[in-house]
Amino acid sequence: MNTLPSSIHSCGIGLRRQHFSTIAETKPNIPWFEILSDNYLIEGTVQREFVQQIRPDYPITFHGVGLSIGSVDPLNKEYLKRLLTLKKELEPAWISDHLCWTSAYGYSTHDLIPLPYTQNVVDHIVDRIIQVQDFLGESIVIENVSSYLQFKSTEMTEWEFINQVIEKSGCSLLLDVNNIYVSAQNHGFDAEDYLLAMPKDRVKEIHLAGYEDKTTHLLDTHSRPVTEPVWALFAKAVEHVGDVPVLIEWDNDIPELSRLREEANIAKNIQQKILGSRQ
Amino acid sequence: MSLDKLQQDVVKAFFGDPIVADDYIIGDDVLTAAQRFGIYKGSVHGVLTQALSDMYPVCKALVGDSFFDHVTSKFINKNPPDTAFFADFGGGFSHFLSHFESAKSVEYLADMAYLEWLRHNAWNSKNQSASDFSTLETYSVTQQMAMVFSLAETASLWQSEYRIDQLWDAHQEESAIDLAQIDIFEHLKLLIWRNDYTLHMHKLTAQQFSFLNAVQQGKPLEILAEEFTETLPELLSISLQNAWIRSYEIPISK
Please state the domain extents for chain B.
1-124, 126-254
Question: Given CA atoms B183, B185, B186, B189 in this order, what sign does their dihedral have?
Answer: positive
Q: Do A84 and A67 contact (CB within 8 A), yes or no? A: no
Q: Do A45 and B47 touch (CB under 8 A)?
A: no
Q: Do A232 and A274 contact (CB within 8 A), yes or no? A: no
Closest-CA distance, A10 to chain B, in angstroms, reads 31
Question: What percent of chain A has a predicted confidence (pLDDT) above 90?
Answer: 96
pLDDT band at B127 (very low <50, low <70, confident <90, very high): confident
Cβ neighbours for B233, distance < 8 A, ≥ 6 positions apart: none
**Start-to-end C-alpha separation, chain B:** 63
Q: What is the pLDDT of residue B253?
A: 65
Calculate the average pLDDT of chain B.
Answer: 95
- Please give the DSSP secondary-structure letter assigned to residue B56: -
The four Cα atoms B1, B4, B9, B10 give a dihedral, to 10 degrees, of 100
Q: Do A110 and B83 touch (CB under 8 A)?
A: no
Q: A233: how many CB neighbours lie within 10 A of its CB?
A: 22
From chain A, pick out residues whose CB is under 8 angstroms from the CB of B30. Answer: 216-217
pLDDT band at A171 (very low <50, low <70, confident <90, very high): very high
Say whether pLDDT at A1 is over 60: no
**Burial state string for A139-163 with b = 16 or more CB within 10 A and e = fewer than 16:** bbbbbbbbbbbbbebbebebbebbb
The CATH number of the structural domain formed by B126-254 is 3.90.930
Report d(CA B174, CA B177) in Å as an integer. Answer: 9
Inter-axis angle of helices B221-228 and B206-216, nearest 10: 160
Residues A219-256 have pLDDT tens digits of: 999 999 999 999 999 999 999 999 999 999 999 999 99
Q: Do A38 and B8 touch (CB under 8 A)?
A: no
Cβ neighbours for A147, distance < 8 A, ≥ 6 positions apart: A114, A158, A182, A183, A186, A187
Q: Do A79 and B81 touch (CB under 8 A)?
A: no
Calculate the average pLDDT of chain A.
Answer: 97
Residues A6-46 have pLDDT tens digits of: 999 999 999 999 999 999 999 999 999 999 999 999 998 98
- On the CB side of B143, CA atoms within 13 Å amount to 10
- What CATH class has A11-277? alpha beta
Report DSSP letters for B97-135, one per residue.
HHT-GGGTTSTTHHHHHHHHHHHHHHHTS---PPP-GGG
Q: What is the pLDDT of residue A2?
A: 58
- Number of A to B CB contacts under 8 A, please give it: 126
Q: Give the bridge partners for B190, in sequence order.
A: B158, B203
- Please give the DSSP secondary-structure letter assigned to residue B31: S
Q: Do A125 and A99 contact (CB within 8 A), yes or no? A: yes
Give the best residue of A101, A109, A132, A222 to mutate against chain B (max B CB count within 10 A).
A109
**ipTM attached to this prediction:** 0.96
